[in-house]
Amino acid sequence: MSDEDREEKELDLTSPEVVTKYKSAAEILNKALQLVVSECKPKAKIVDLCEKGDAFIKEQTGNMYKNVKKKIERGVAFPTCISVNNTVCHFSPLSSDEIVLEEGDMVKIDMGCHIDGFIAVVAHTHVLQGGPVTGRAADVLAAANTAAEVALRLVRPGKKNSDVTEAIQKVAAAYDCKIVEGVLSHQMKQFVIDGNKVVLSLSNPDTRVDDAEFEENEVYSIDIVTSTGEGKPKLLDEKQTTIYKRAVDKSYNLKMKASRFIFSEISQKFPIMPFTARELEEKRARLGLVECVNHDLLQPYPVLHEKPGDLIAHIKFTVLLMPNGSDRITSHAIQELTPAKTIENEPEIKTWLAFPIKTKKKGGGKKKKGKKGEREESSQAEPMEGEPNVAES
């Protein structure tokens, strides 16, 4: 085996060290999410919550791999976003922003962490209220959670990306909700948050992706966004965009001094992972970022909105396609839901939910021990199971 082949093999889930790094990133991320959820209270400033989430990830990852010879990159893989009610995604405001949460808000938390480029991402929806969530808020959250549970069972070796797309649309329809268009679930690799293998949330003539089959030892971020509205979000204000990712394959000779300064700072601090403009020198950032985006040096993550009054729910998790089955490593427990709609008369959905997540395989003693350890770790990260909550209506 050549050095190149060996290196390629080591970056795969067949390497226990790689699995450990994914699970360590996930463990930190699950704790960061728990922290942010606990701080989501009426009158809490959204920017403060975003900063707390990012600070926790930086602190926890900073404590790992400190005494190794070769520097290991680690930290935030996707800045903490807090998107409320009809705001779909990517809201992570600048430090000067004064927007606060209110009682009854439907709060979507989205964040990511990496260790050595092995990325864990998560998104969770939490309603600011006591007692069970009811009405359309419960419907849209149950739709997202049930769709995530179905996707977990269909993202497995031998299944196709189109199988998942069709299934999650059927789940949303059962709750009289829509899957939000334009949302993609991606394969992830070392330092790659948006790999080439993609699962489309909504199939339509305008959006096409290549057919793909899931394979053992792959890693995916599964991203489900549901809406009580039309599921066709719009960009209302470009100034709300604060999250960007450097487009490593693009180059351009920037004209403005502010742009060159900012792009140099980005190249040093955030060469690969998405980042928030809060991390840049704010006075120069706004001016410089515009030229960088206009010439495709940066990929923006726009803040999208449905119509006022619409409710959006977001569930995202990271799954490792291990030899013994799918291992969801990021999640958070969902509030008790009493939706008006149910899946009682949806035999196809109930069949999908009955699919096992793990597969039983015979193996040698040493391997078996490792698998047991993986099962124990993954069970801690699987409180998202939605069937009991969803069926309580």
Model confidence over 51-72: pLDDT tens digits? 999 999 999 999 998 888 888 9
The pLDDT assigned to 361 comes to: 55
pLDDT higher for 172 or 388?
A: 172
The pLDDT assigned to 12 comes to: 84
User: Computed over its alpha carbons, how large is the radius of gyration of the chain?
Assistant: 21
Q: Write the DSSP symbol of residue 197.
A: -
Locate 207 and state its tokens: 């959006």
Per-residue pLDDT averaged across 221-230, rounded? 98
The pLDDT assigned to 366 comes to: 42
Residues 6 or more apart whose Cβ sits within 8 Å of residue 147: 167, 168, 171, 172, 179, 224, 226, 315
Name which of 33, 26, 80, 36 is nearest 54 in CA terms.
80
The yes-or-no verdict on residue 229 having pLDDT over 70 is yes
pLDDT band at 284 (very low <50, low <70, confident <90, very high): confident
Q: Where are the alpha helices (DSSP H) in 40-160?
A: 46-62, 135-154
The yes-or-no verdict on residue 391 having pLDDT over 70 is no
pLDDT band at 390 (very low <50, low <70, confident <90, very high): very low
pLDDT higher for 304 or 363?
A: 304
The yes-or-no verdict on residue 175 having pLDDT over 50 is yes
The yes-or-no verdict on residue 367 having pLDDT over 80 is no
Q: How far apart are CA 307 and CA 126, in angstroms?
A: 20
The four Cα atoms 254, 258, 264, 267 give a dihedral, to 10 degrees, of -80
Per-residue pLDDT averaged across 370-390, rounded? 40
Q: How far apart are CA 219 and CA 14, in angstroms?
A: 12
Considering the entire predicted model, what is its pTM?
0.89
pLDDT band at 272 (very low <50, low <70, confident <90, very high): very high
pLDDT higher for 127 or 362?
A: 127
pLDDT in tens, 129-148: 999 999 999 999 999 999 99
Long-range contacts of 9-12 (CB under 8 A, 24+ apart): 11/189, 11/190, 12/217
The pLDDT assigned to 371 comes to: 41
The pLDDT assigned to 372 comes to: 40
The pLDDT assigned to 38 comes to: 97
Per-residue pLDDT averaged across 38-62, rounded? 98
Looking at every residue in the chain, the average pLDDT score rounds to 89
Q: Quick one: what percent of the chain has pLDDT higher than 90? A: 80
pLDDT band at 384 (very low <50, low <70, confident <90, very high): very low
User: Using an 8 Å Cβ cutoff, are 148 and 222 in contact?
Assistant: yes
Q: How far apart are CA 155 and CA 184, in angstroms?
A: 14
Q: Is 23 helix (H, G, I), strand (E, B) or coil?
A: helix
